[in-house]
Structure 1
Amino acid sequence: MKFVDEYRNSTLIHRQAEEIARRSQGQSLKFMEVCGGHTHTIYKHGIEDLLPSTIDLVHGPGCPVCVLPMGRIDDAIAIARTDGVIFTTFGDMMRVPGSQGSLLDARASGADVRFVYSPLDALKLARQHPDRQVVFFAIGFETTAPSTAVTLLRAQAENIQNFSIFCNHVNVIPAIKAILDSPDLRLDGFVGPGHVSMIIGMRPYTFIARDHHKPVVISGFEPLDIMQSIAMLTKQISEGRAEVENQYARVVRHDGNEKALQVMARTMELRPFFEWRGMGFITQSALKLRPEFAAWDAELRFKVPGIRVADPKACQCGEVLKGVIKPWNCKVFGTACTPETPIGTCMVSSEGACAAYYNYGRFGVATERTRTLA
């Protein structure tokens, strides 16, 4: 398949592996792949097994489902249980646990919760059910925010009054800043998120290289993309450089998608602060609807608890999201917490690091670094 097969070429991938080994020269390096999509590619295709044992890849907070705190899930469930509401959401959010169960549990107990593929599907439901209030659970980084913004503008243009948005869009840059300021983790570079960068471009990452002297390589999602990105990171380090480079040039432009940024700016603004699972409150790290769109703001239309809820003590999803531990370091990983019986969001989401480790058989040090025994 064009634009897939050529990025899974084993000859080119092994050539990149040789370059990485040559340039790293036994130096211990720790790189963070920010995006959950990268994590799944790494373990699905066994990329870590091609790298020198001295190179360690850790996971970042790039899974939008995973970073939502339990309190926001409880707020969503409260809206869903309101009489006359059709609550719509992406499929990943259906099974994410709050303190009183999940949206799937709410549906089982009588709430009208439906999964949709886009916010425009939710708007279509609002047209079809003028006697019901249709709410869309908007989540995601800057990648998905433009589609929410366009849907909001369409709802305004058509004056659809029975449609509203529960906005939980988050911004990746403040999360990366929080990680860099954390004393828990030493990083040598970042594999930058490709889909987010398609929207925001390269410029927002410059502070990482300028202020923290860490290289960043924005990467695509195929195995060769990631291997080439790691090679580019090791090359920068071997040459004493710290720059923002773009491996994903076939999709990402330096200034991003200006039209998408404009429609986001027209409909949304920064929240003063927002809670991230495992990372606490981060200033200006999420979006809310602008006052002129208050009529379509579910947080204003419905009564929500708005209470901060602590994560289950057994779950270490927060530490996984910050790259402090590997999923198999969590005591409940693969035992009490599985994709069928998830305790934390990292095991629920299709982009969650715990789900990646579980689905591709990474249950401990022995399976993670078998090549060191060869």
Structure 2
Amino acid sequence: MRERAVVRPTPPDAPGTAAAWVALIRRKVEEAGRPVRLMEFCGTHTMAIARSGLRGLLRGAVELVSGPGCPVCVTADGEIDRMLAYCDVPGAIVATYGDLLRVPGSRSSLARRRAEGADVRMVYSALDALELARENPDRPVIFLAVGFETTAPAAALAVQAAREEGLGNFFVHSAHKRTPAAMRALLEAGDLRLDGILCPGHVSAVLGAEAFAFLPAEYGVPAAVAGFEPLDILLAVDHLVDAALGLRPPDLWNGYARWVRPGGNRKAQALLEAVFRPCEASWRGLGLLPDSGFRLREEFAEFDAAIRFPAAVEEARGRPGCRCGDVLRGLLSPAECPLFGTGCRPDRPVGPCMVSSEGACAAWYRYGPGEEGTA
């Protein structure tokens, strides 16, 4: 049985405003005499922190570091290049999410291939891609499935529906990633000091907060699941600060209990188990990690685009100066990349962290590092 997360009720004398929570957190850190370093593993948290200015409000007391929480950003160049090869399949419709269109591979991008004549379409869900297959029975529809445990169940549902309907022209390239594996890899690398981890709320809603119980149990790193409003994040930060400063034992706290239920979403988990199996996957910045990806099970191999349309792809080329991998590992801030804001901007991105709506570089470029943010 997995360890359950602690649900701490908000005390009646707790601060009622973000400013009061910030003041409380800063006072605790100042009394302890050392700053606290926390990492968020969710691109939505990254954007929420930047948009609300929390990084600037806590500067000097709590350092908020962005980790590999953006699924488009962690998709390696070699994977992107493999996806681009599907554009050469005769008659193919290549469908994927909007963020992925402009992410550069080592030689091109989906947006560029579309401009050159490939039929590349943006969809909002795997079920939209399935509908394209129904509407175009004489053409292969290849869905590029990118995401964490949050979007993978919808892809699984689409594959099941394709089999039930006998759709022989629907295929999925699964680049889905498993979040806990990346957390383990980051901690075991040993080149990053962290006092706590802000766990992804959406992933926790699927897996259950218990999926991250290994953080305090095996690594002694306190963890907190948080929602996405400034107060949600500040309550989680306060809990992690208490643990980091020895005011409470390191534990796993579920601060998003209004959506994250004990055990998570059982139906979504059942879909993942039925359609996918764990596999080795390549992460930008982290390399090949065992059991960190989702691959279609053998009984669904007929829908596996990589099997149906094998292609030889040249070894991916690096991008001189791009430090996306180090940003994703929390080893440097976006502003410390030599290309940030000059050679790499949203209108001409070099790396994926500047493209995605959940990318750390995009957040810093849009909202700044947070010197004068207000929650």
Kindly provide the CA deviation profile for residues 308-344 of structure 1, in whole angstroms up to 9, marking residues without a partner as x.
Answer: 4243131000000000000000000000000111100
1:43 CA drift (Å): 1.1
Partner of 1:86: 93
1:345 CA drift (Å): 0.5
1:198 CA drift (Å): 0.5
Partner of 1:128: 135
* Cα contact 1:80–1:111 (8 A) shared by 2: yes
For 1:213 and 1:306, the matched residues in 2 are separated by 42
CA RMSD of aligned residues (A): 1.5
Partner of 1:249: 257
* Cα contact 2:94–2:121 (8 A) shared by 1: yes
* Cα contact 2:57–2:372 (8 A) shared by 1: no
1:166 aligns with 2:202: no
* Cα contact 1:88–1:135 (8 A) shared by 2: yes
For 2:209 and 2:21, the matched residues in 1 are separated by 24
For 1:223 and 1:36, the matched residues in 2 are separated by 15
For 2:166 and 2:186, the matched residues in 1 are separated by 42
1:264 aligns with 2:272: yes
* Cα contact 2:57–2:371 (8 A) shared by 1: no
* Cα contact 1:72–1:306 (8 A) shared by 2: no
Partner of 1:20: 25
What SS does the corresponding residue of 1:251 show, helix, strand or coil?
A: coil
* Cα contact 1:337–1:347 (8 A) shared by 2: yes
1:240 CA drift (Å): 4.1
Q: Aligned letter for 1:173?
A: P
Q: How many residues align?
A: 356
For 2:197 and 2:346, the matched residues in 1 are separated by 28
For 1:304 and 1:349, the matched residues in 2 are separated by 27
What SS does the corresponding residue of 1:101 show, helix, strand or coil?
A: coil
What SS does the corresponding residue of 1:343 show, helix, strand or coil?
A: coil
Kindly provide the CA deviation profile for residues 44-77 of structure 1, in whole angstroms up to 9, marking residues without a partner as x.
Answer: 1111222251311101101000000111111111
Using structure 1 for the length normalisation, give the TM-score: 0.92
The runs of at least 4 aligned residues of structure 1 exceeding 3 Å deviation read 368-371
1:206 CA drift (Å): 1.4
1:202 aligns with 2:196: no
Using structure 2 for the length normalisation, give the TM-score: 0.92
How do 1:359-370 and structure 2 match up within 5 A? 359-362=366-369, 368-369=370-371
Q: Aligned letter for 2:270?
A: Q
1:186 aligns with 2:193: yes
Partner of 2:11: none
What SS does the corresponding residue of 1:74 show, helix, strand or coil?
A: helix
For 1:208 and 1:311, the matched residues in 2 are separated by 33
1:315 corresponds to which of 319, 322, 330: 322
1:253 CA drift (Å): 1.3
How do 1:345-356 and structure 2 match up within 5 A? 345-356=352-363
For 2:338 and 2:193, the matched residues in 1 are separated by 23
Q: Aligned letter for 1:259?
A: K
Q: Where in structure 1 are there 5+ consecutive unaligned residues?
A: 1-9, 363-367
What SS does the corresponding residue of 1:181 show, helix, strand or coil?
A: helix
Q: Aligned letter for 1:251?
A: W
Partner of 1:138: 145
Which is worse superposed, 82-91 or 17-26? Answer: 17-26
Partner of 2:295: 288
1:112 CA drift (Å): 0.4
Kindly provide the CA deviation profile for residues 82-133 of structure 1, in whole angstroms up to 9, marking residues without a partner as x.
Answer: 1110000000000000122100111111110000011111111111111100
For 2:82 and 2:270, the matched residues in 1 are separated by 29
1:33 aligns with 2:51: no
* Cα contact 1:267–1:293 (8 A) shared by 2: yes
1:360 CA drift (Å): 0.8
* Cα contact 1:70–1:308 (8 A) shared by 2: no
Kindly provide the CA deviation profile for residues 153-192 of structure 1, in whole angstroms up to 9, marking residues without a partner as x.
Answer: 1101001001010111000001000110112210000011
For 1:304 and 1:225, the matched residues in 2 are separated by 46
* Cα contact 2:85–2:313 (8 A) shared by 1: no
What SS does the corresponding residue of 1:284 show, helix, strand or coil?
A: strand
Which is worse superposed, 283-292 or 237-246? Answer: 237-246
* 1:313/1:184 CA distance change after superposition, 3 Å: farther
Partner of 1:7: none
1:274 CA drift (Å): 1.2
For 1:156 and 1:311, the matched residues in 2 are separated by 39
Partner of 2:332: 325
2:237 corresponds to which of 219, 230, 233: 230
1:358 aligns with 2:365: yes
Partner of 1:214: 221
For 2:136 and 2:197, the matched residues in 1 are separated by 46
1:151 aligns with 2:158: yes
For 2:248 and 2:22, the matched residues in 1 are separated by 20
For 2:336 and 2:56, the matched residues in 1 are separated by 19
What SS does the corresponding residue of 2:212 show, helix, strand or coil?
A: helix
Q: Aligned letter for 1:94?
A: L
For 1:369 and 1:180, the matched residues in 2 are separated by 29
For 2:318 and 2:310, the matched residues in 1 are separated by 23
